[in-house]
Amino acid sequence: MKDFHLRWIKLDNETESKKAMEIIGSDPGGIAQMAGKPLGRALKIENVPLHVAHILKQEMLSLGGDAAVHRNVIVNKIEATDMLLVGTVKQFRKLSQKLLAQPFGLKDLGKTLKSLLEGFEPPQKRVLSCRGKELLLGERTLIMGILNLTPDSFSDGGKFVTLDQALKQAEALVEQGADILDIGAESTRISHDPVSAKEEWERLEAVLKALVPRLSIPISLDTYKAEVAERALDSGVHMINDVWGLQRDPRMAEVVGKYQAPVFVMHNQKGDNYRHVIGDIMAFLKKSILLAEEQGLKGDQIIIDPGIGGPAFGKSLDLDLEIMSRLSEFRSLGHPILLGTSRKSMIGQTLNLPPDQRLEGTIATSVIGVAAGVDILRVHDVLPNKRAVQMADAIYRQKRGANFVGA
């Protein structure tokens, strides 16, 4: 099955609509005529073979929708094209049914489109089992509190390196309302000093031994090393947060599968060279999802993270801002979404502020995350973010739910 990277894209005005079609390579005259159409609903499909593109365009036109393709499609001078299908949800539902009867891999495309359409429904409340602890998803946006045991973290390095400091901070985060505690013992800042698995575990062992039986909430371990993850899971840790999406250490997927531990898979890469930023990130995350699924994990057990974080995670400021503006597109992957922006360089560069003055910027991104349908927010400052998120949830989850009155 060919992966076309289907996703709904957010176009709020004609300027954005025109830019989206220019990127595809559409004819300027066609762009002028179609500019207002994608403001209903737009579906981006990448690298579509020419014969498939012709079928999709004709099917969409027959339903009253439209399709933007590269200008050379009409003269058959291109082997493949990105496409922008535009129409109503009703038209896309009919298209998904028609594709199920088509050849050339379009049956699989129809199944994928049907799955994307299901994402329009309000999120259902469900319980995620975390190795003895439980998380309720779909009711409200959850808060993951950060506990760094590192001496060189970009934000709070050295503040919680002793056992007493770590325990007090963990308990404070829980008291402030954290739903998950994420513990890390190696910095991810771009100029950090790498640590061995042995040293990382030495920083973690006593803290985990004290916190696992003490805390009422699930504990997530932030590590990309399978050896460290295995020791932590054997000690009772409930979840793993891998900033390399199971793709750095070849044993990591096997380890989380062995313990059936929910896993956060983050997009990461060296350098910020992308063909299609969202499409490329999704392709990486799909590989991470597949690695987890091959080890028996499924559905809510796999939580995706687009990886906001500047050069440390293969993004520039402009790319981080673009990802933030298009967060809702990641819902197409069908897994819960984690967003981690707390005190990060995107906020520092935008506001020209040091890490300890980035609270307001962080809260702004948290609210944007709620509006986009993010499930979990990873933050340093739990209480103020939780209050802001509670207010945003009251607005946006009401809007997406069954009790929304409408106009």
Residue 334 half-sphere exposure toward CB, CA atoms < 13 A = 14
Catalytic residue among 344, 358, 386, 397: 344
Look at the alpha carbons of 313, 318, 324, 329 in this order and tell me if their dihedral is positive or negative: negative
Catalytic residue among 315, 326, 343, 378: 378
- 10 as an active site residue: the answer is no
Rg of the chain over Cα atoms, rounded to whole angstroms, equals 22
Distance CA(188)–CA(266), nearest Å, equals: 12
- Could you give the strand order of the β-sheet that contains 80-86, starting from the edge strand earlier in sequence? 7-9, 42-49, 80-86, 66-68
Q: Which residue shows structure tokens 């954005």? A: 16
Residue 145 DSSP SS3: strand
Distance CA(280)–CA(285), nearest Å, equals: 9
Q: Which residue shows structure tokens 């973010």? A: 385
* Amino acid type, 320: D
- 344 as an active site residue: the answer is yes
What's the chain's length in residues?
A: 407
Question: H helices of 10-105, where?
Answer: 14-24, 28-34, 50-62, 89-99
Looking only at the bridges linking them, the beta strands covering 7-9 and 42-49 are antiparallel
* Amino acid type, 269: Q
Distance CA(85)–CA(355), nearest Å, equals: 42
Q: Determine what percent of the chain falls in helix, strand and coil, rounding each to the nearest 5.
A: 45, 15, 35
Catalogue the active-site residues: 344, 378
